[in-house]
A = this chain, B = another copy of it.
């Protein structure tokens, strides 16, 4: 645990000033090439390592970006993280990641930690039960850029990166209608969360535009877990008449739903066509392969960090563009490709 080498040590060794050493190490243009080389040589030879804290303390900048995510171990979120890390790393930023585990309390605590650690910016996908953004107030008032992605708060006009969930859900539902479905159920998530709320909206609009009645019974609200899929399927099996189309707000739940329905002897897509959401890897493993909405997680992560860094670098001088909407698209697979007989007459009587 030998003593740490500092720029003073290097300065003394080379009989120059610490300032010059600092400049040299940071590739300041006003340092003679020769001197710079000497500095680098001495540094590596003496085993010097920069002290980020001293530097941060002085510069009041940390080169660190905080991320608060509901949970890390989901296919979607881990893709987002991967995209974020890649861009951040390339730009020389560190990523401090923390999970809210879907609770506001932890989200509040994490926000405070991030604030105290003086992250240069913060990226957040909010928890299920986050109903306001009070705990981010310190960031707003200190002018620390805060960017929400995917799960974003309502009302507040925060900067956010999203996909058009209404449109995506509308497309998915319309697709079911086009396949001949006339009795469609939507399995939704927590309606306090913007993404699920919007998907329900898109679902509703699509029904309306196709003159299919929307009733309370058209929606099953769940937590979209695997178990929820099983329960929802059981509930659906008790319906009479049975629906002929199901739009589920995420793939995970859709898949377990399919498994349960299949076990009950339902043929998919012929008896019921099903659409999921996310384009998780599992959609191409379940039989039949699941039609879903492709949802660009990795890209969302890249865009989020890139926007934040652009802002920090002063590139986007005005307040950041308010909302960035990424493209999403329907991926049609077997779970909705009805066979011949499915070519029903149009529902418009």
Could you tell me which A residues sit within 8 Å of B by CB distance?
A: 1-2, 47, 49-54, 56-57, 62, 64, 71-75, 77-79, 81-82, 85-86, 89, 94-99, 101, 106, 110, 113, 115-118, 138, 142-143, 252, 255, 259, 281-282, 285-287, 298
> How many angstroms from the CA of A1 to the CA of B60 in the assembled complex?
12
A selection of 5 A-B contacts at a CB cut-off of 8 Å is: A53-B56, A57-B57, A73-B79, A73-B82, A82-B99
> How many angstroms from the CA of A298 to the CA of B99 in the assembled complex?
14
Beta-carbon contact of B52 and A116 below 8 Å = yes
- Return the 8 tightest CB-CB contacts between A and B, nearest first: A78-B78, A73-B82, A72-B82, A53-B57, A73-B78, A53-B56, A73-B79, A53-B53
Within 8 Å CB of A259, what residues of B? Answer: 285
> How many angstroms from the CA of A31 to the CA of B72 in the assembled complex?
40
For residue A297, which residue of chain B has the nearest CB? B73
Beta-carbon contact of A116 and B49 below 8 Å = yes
Beta-carbon contact of B85 and A97 below 8 Å = yes
Tell me how far the C-beta of A247 lies from the nearest C-beta in chain B, rounded to whole angstroms: 20
Tell me how far the C-beta of A136 lies from the nearest C-beta in chain B, rounded to whole angstroms: 14
Beta-carbon contact of B52 and A54 below 8 Å = no
For residue A115, which residue of chain B has the nearest CB? B49
Beta-carbon contact of A94 and B78 below 8 Å = no
For residue A59, which residue of chain B has the nearest CB? B53
Within 8 Å CB of A255, what residues of B? Answer: 285
Within 8 Å CB of A95, what residues of B? Answer: 96-98
Beta-carbon contact of A72 and B62 below 8 Å = no
Within 8 Å CB of A106, what residues of B? Answer: 89
Question: A74-B78, A95-B97 in contact; A50/B116 too (CB < 8 A)?
Answer: yes
For residue A67, which residue of chain B has the nearest CB? B97
Within 8 Å CB of A54, what residues of B? Answer: 53, 57
> How many angstroms from the CA of A141 to the CA of B97 in the assembled complex?
28
> How many angstroms from the CA of A72 to the CA of B80 in the assembled complex?
9
Tell me how far the C-beta of A57 lies from the nearest C-beta in chain B, rounded to whole angstroms: 4
Beta-carbon contact of B96 and A96 below 8 Å = yes
Question: A52-B116, A97-B95, A286-B285 in contact; A85/B57 too (CB < 8 A)?
Answer: no
> How many angstroms from the CA of A315 to the CA of B178 in the assembled complex?
65
For residue A259, which residue of chain B has the nearest CB? B285
Beta-carbon contact of A117 and B94 below 8 Å = yes
> How many angstroms from the CA of A284 to the CA of B92 in the assembled complex?
40
Within 8 Å CB of A142, what residues of B? Answer: 1-2
For residue A56, which residue of chain B has the nearest CB? B53
Beta-carbon contact of A53 and B285 below 8 Å = no
Within 8 Å CB of A118, what residues of B? Answer: 51-53
Tell me how far the C-beta of A76 lies from the nearest C-beta in chain B, rounded to whole angstroms: 9
For residue A55, which residue of chain B has the nearest CB? B53
Within 8 Å CB of A286, what residues of B? Answer: 285
Tell me how far the C-beta of A262 lies from the nearest C-beta in chain B, rounded to whole angstroms: 9
Beta-carbon contact of A98 and B85 below 8 Å = yes
Beta-carbon contact of A71 and B62 below 8 Å = no
Beta-carbon contact of B73 and A298 below 8 Å = yes
Question: A57-B54, A118-B51, A142-B1 in contact; A89/B98 too (CB < 8 A)?
Answer: yes
For residue A50, which residue of chain B has the nearest CB? B116
